[in-house]
Amino acid sequence: MTAPVAKPPAAKPAAAKTSATKKPPREVRVTGAKFIASVSGIGEVPPGMAEFAMCGRSNVGKSSLINALCNQKQLARVSKTPGRTQRINLFDVDLSSGQTIRLVDLPGFGHADVPGAVQRQFSPMIQAYLLEQPALRAVLLLVDARRDPDPDAIGFAEWLSENHVPVVLIVTKSDKVPKTERFGVQEKLRRAFGQADRPLLCSSQVGDGMPDLLRFLRDAAGHLPRAKKSR
């Protein structure tokens, strides 16, 4: 089994060193972020900029990651109660590169009493968003550093790939894993998801991975065009 994925966040920008194409600065900062809307359908999403959707099991840290990236404590709602995020929540984020990107906080899967395939756990609304939103550049699929590879998440990554939606694997809560074990965690997840490159290790608590993830978002905002659907 392999789940094709988008180029991982650690990738360096591919710009050639010529006088015509300058390498973008290494550092990317968030200069502003605001909540835009909480919507229940793709038709309600205001048109705008490149979108990146946070996906993963309930409680994996999707909302926390948005807050950490934006350097704010309460932009997205964080909770110990799984299933807190129920609608599509949109946040527009200004980058120091001059771009504005949109982060999309989606409901988590795995908390509902719905066994089986992950896509059945997503409402038609979420499926439609993931499959049909032209502005969606990539899904950031979050997995908890402390958990074994999750068959639901692997199935979800495959489903996205089959539908030509770029997926980037992000390992959350790195602060909960001793430093000496982190490489092993990344390798285990890399293999389980059939990736060529090690997934990015992040902690919203202590900031691990944030500079790399911001660089990825900056670079991907203008790249990763979605393949045309064949159906």
Where do contacts with Mg ion occur on this chain (CB under 5 A)? 62-63, 85
Choose the contact partner of 163 out of Mg ion, ligand GTP, none; CB within 5 to 8 A by kind.
none
What is the rounded CA–CA span in Å between residue 174 and residue 157? 21
**Tokens (6 digits) for 110:** 């795995």
To the nearest whole angstrom, how small is the minimum distance from the Cβ of residue 71 to ligand GTP? 14
| Binding stretches for ligand GTP (CB under 6 A) | 56, 58-64, 78-80, 82-85, 108, 172-173, 175-176, 203-205
Residue 67: φ, ψ to 5°: -60, -45
With respect to ligand GTP, which residue has the nearer C-beta, 22 or 73? 73
Choose the contact partner of 137 out of Mg ion, ligand GTP, none; CB within 5 to 8 A by kind.
none
**Tokens (6 digits) for 48:** 């705008």
- Strand-pairing partners, residue 91, are 35, 103
Tell me the HSE value of 130 on the side-chain side, using a 13 A CA sphere. Answer: 27
What is the rounded CA–CA span in Å between residue 177 and residue 170? 15
Q: Which residue is nearest to ligand GTP (CB)?
A: 108
Choose the contact partner of 82 out of Mg ion, ligand GTP, none; CB within 5 to 8 A by kind.
ligand GTP
To the nearest whole angstrom, how small is the minimum distance from the Cβ of residue 47 to Mg ion? 24
Q: Where do we find the tokens 């799984």?
A: 82
